[in-house]
Structure 1
């Protein structure tokens, strides 16, 4: 089915947005401190809970202490921010260590990567 035919069919269900992403952690207090240092606001749970949810614009970033297998690289979460350079400075000021300074990408975004304490790669970006 092509995109055109999908758009024409009004009775088809379609994806509208990402509601939340949930990341596993082996140390909830450490993970909560990390995301709070980035300015994420807790809306449920907290450092002493098994599940914590942060507001992320109109979506949510969740942390769960439920783990199955050792965490391995799985990809990255791309988070759009209003000012990549200011967000980078904020991360560094809180003692966090981004993988590199903000840079312009050939795909027309300014971005930098940061790895959370459990090995999840986060990309903070803004379209150019």
Structure 2
């Protein structure tokens, strides 16, 4: 795209390609995410790196090879049916922090922590 003198081309972020999380036990982490419906696209339970499909993006897991970085964070995934994913989690023996509820900011959601303490918010916009 050409720009005239004095005009700046506006650059914007277009999409999130992937999030990468360090994990202590790849087998346990892969089982956790598969139980929620994520699909392995590369790697797997016995590998040092695994990439799981998350809609048009990816959730990458890398075996922890360095000291743990202290901190807290949450990532949010939108799903077609929050209550069905919640039921899948319970059926797999996972423990969400609370039942699905409607939030004042316009989403139905619940939170669940993975085996390494990374928090996942499973959500769907209301309305």
Question: TM-score scaled by structure 1?
Answer: 0.88
Structure 1 residue runs of 4 or more that deviate by more than 6 Å after TM superposition:
none
Q: Which has the higher helix share?
A: 1
Structure 1: 5+ residue stretches without partners: 1-7
Q: Which residue of 2 aligns with 1:97?
A: 95
**More moved, 69-78 vs 90-99:** 69-78
Q: How far apart, CA to CA, are the structure 1 residues paired with 2:114 and 2:34?
A: 12
Offset from partner CA, 1:67-115 (integer Å, 9 cap, x none): 4332534210100010111110111011000000001111011100000
Task: Describe how 1:52-91 pairs up with structure 2 within 5 A.
Answer: 52-91=50-89
1:51 maps to 2:49: yes
Task: Describe how 1:21-60 pairs up with structure 2 within 5 A.
Answer: 21-60=19-58
TM superposition shift of 1:17: 1.0
Q: How far apart, CA to CA, are the structure 1 residues paired with 2:69 and 2:80?
A: 30
Number of aligned residue pairs: 120
Give the secondary-structure state (helix, strand or coil) at the position aligned to 1:87: helix
Q: How far apart, CA to CA, are the structure 2 residues paired with 1:110 and 1:32?
A: 25
Q: How far apart, CA to CA, are the structure 2 residues paired with 1:122 and 1:105?
A: 16
Whether the 8 Å CA contact 1:71–1:118 is kept in 2: the answer is: no
Q: Which has the larger radius of gyration?
A: 2
Offset from partner CA, 1:29-56 (integer Å, 9 cap, x none): 1111111111211110011111000010
Task: Please provide the CA RMSD for this pair.
Answer: 1.4
Q: How far apart, CA to CA, are the structure 2 residues paired with 1:65 and 1:19?
A: 20
Structure 2: 5+ residue stretches without partners: 1-6
